[in-house]
Amino acid sequence: MALKINDEVVVTSGNHKGQRGKVMKINGVTQRVTVEGVNMRVQFLRKTQENPQGGEVERETPLHVSSLLLWSEKAGKGVRVRVKKVGDSKVRVGIPCGTHFDS
């Protein structure tokens, strides 16, 4: 998977197309990524001693990794990524713009 936590990504398909946010959580088994401020859903909380009123909370729900691209400031859009070996380390490089994401 070409994404890491704290990467800025853009949604490429679905109801939230065009929205940007930072990656908060990655699940490699299900190939799903939680993005900050994107794909918000309402969760209803049960009444408990800590929360006697109950209520509603908006939370981010995961998106599939195939509907996300890394955001490149240089290109001004989402870009696909390839891995390039630079010295002894591997670096993610944006395909159309050449932006190095692991500096």
Give the DSSP per-residue string, 42-101: EEEEPP-SSSTT-EEEEEE--EEGGGEEEEETTTTEEE-EEEEEETTEEEEEETTT--BS
| pLDDT reported for residue 103 | 64
Q: Is residue 100 part of a domain?
A: no
Q: Is residue 16 part of a domain?
A: yes
Q: Is residue 99 part of a domain?
A: no
| pLDDT reported for residue 32 | 96
Q: Is residue 81 part of a domain?
A: yes
Structural domain containing residue 45: 8-94
As for how many domains the chain has, the answer is 1
- Tens of pLDDT, residues 11-59: 999 999 999 999 999 999 999 999 999 999 999 999 999 889 999 999 9
Q: Is residue 55 part of a domain?
A: yes
Q: CATH number for the domain including 84?
A: 2.30.30.30
Q: Is residue 19 part of a domain?
A: yes
